[in-house]
């Protein structure tokens, strides 16, 4: 069986997250249904680079799977599959590229980094044209303080203060999942006079980590917290110390590194 790799963009507004979940509409559920109809067979070995939460978007999500036996991976057939999938999935989901991947490729475990982008609309009035993809924060923000606070994030840290705790099974025993991550880049940029953009890249992310970071950084911008407070929260490794979780619709999985 051939291993295929797709790069996706999607608007997460109408989905209950990426991962398949019986009884609710998810990106994976809709995508797998379309794939199996197009390929006339069951898709196995399905994996994604990042399991985005409900309402979170993506512009560079990567998925991998094993195509049914007999599927041709020549360029013409892959192009026909891509075109057919976009007819079935658009406009909420777009397949940006489709290619054969090495046999051992796995969209999740082969990834070396993920980059997320969070958008904030910082004006007194909301914007009807961007509200589905930006968090409207009407209060003035101290951007310089937010930039200074974010500057402490690159490097390896325990992000327990900014993570929703989860568990993993080790040798048949449920254990608390580790929360130490290595951040490669974290920075605020003004994409326009009204829109602020936070970009963060790391080897991997804990659940709700980016949204928790953004919510607390916005509290720094509102001057509810100081830069020193933010550093203390990071070092505390205590979820109760953090600020509010930013809403999901401002977040986008921007790209994945391999």
219 included as an active-site residue? no
DSSP per-residue letters across the chain: --EEEEEEEE-GGGSS-SS--TTS--HHHHHHHHHHHHHTS--EEEEES--PPTT-EEEEEEEEEEPPTT---SHHHHHHHHHHHHHHHTTTEEEEEEEE--TT--TTTT--EEEEEEEEE-SSS--TTTTTTSEE--S---HHHHHHHHTT-SEEEE-GGG----EEEETTEEEEPP-EEEEEEEEEEESSSSEEEEEEEES---TTHHHHHHHHHHHHHTTSS-HHHHHHHHHHT-GGGS-PPPPGGGEEEEEEE-
The active-site residue, picked from 11, 33, 53, 66, is 53
Q: Which residues are catalytic?
A: 53
């Amino acid at each position: 069986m051939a291993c295929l790799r797709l790069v996706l963009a999607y608007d997460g507004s109408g989905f209950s997250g990426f991962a398949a979940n019986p009884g609710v509409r998810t990106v994976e559920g809709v995508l797998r249904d379309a794939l199996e109809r197009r390929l006339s067979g069951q898709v196995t070995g399905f994996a994604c680079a990042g399991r985005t939460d409900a309402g979170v978007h993506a512009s560079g999500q990567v998925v991998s799977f094993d195509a049914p036996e007999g599927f041709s991976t020549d360029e013409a057939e892959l192009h026909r599959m891509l075109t057919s999938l976009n007819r079935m999935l658009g406009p909420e989901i777009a397949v940006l590229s489709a290619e054969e991947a090495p046999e051992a490729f796995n969209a999740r475990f082969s990834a070396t980094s993920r980059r997320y982008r969070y958008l904030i609309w910082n004006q007194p009035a909301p914007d009807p044209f961007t509200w589905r993809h930006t968090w409207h924060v009407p209060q003035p923000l101290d951007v310089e303080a937010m930039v200074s606070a974010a500057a402490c994030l690159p490097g390896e840290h325990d992000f327990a203060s900014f993570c929703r705790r989860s568990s993993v099974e080790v040798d048949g025993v449920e254990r608390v999942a580790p929360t130490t991550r290595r951040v490669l880049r974290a920075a605020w940029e003004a994409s326009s006079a009204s829109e602020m953009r936070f970009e963060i890249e790391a080897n991997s992310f804990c659940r709700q980590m980016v949204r928790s970071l953004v919510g607390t950084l916005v509290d720094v911008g509102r001057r509810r917290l100081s830069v020193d407070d933010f550093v203390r929260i990071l070092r505390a490794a205590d979820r109760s110390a953090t600020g509010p979780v930013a809403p999901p619709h401002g977040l986008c999985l921007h790209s994945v590194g391999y």
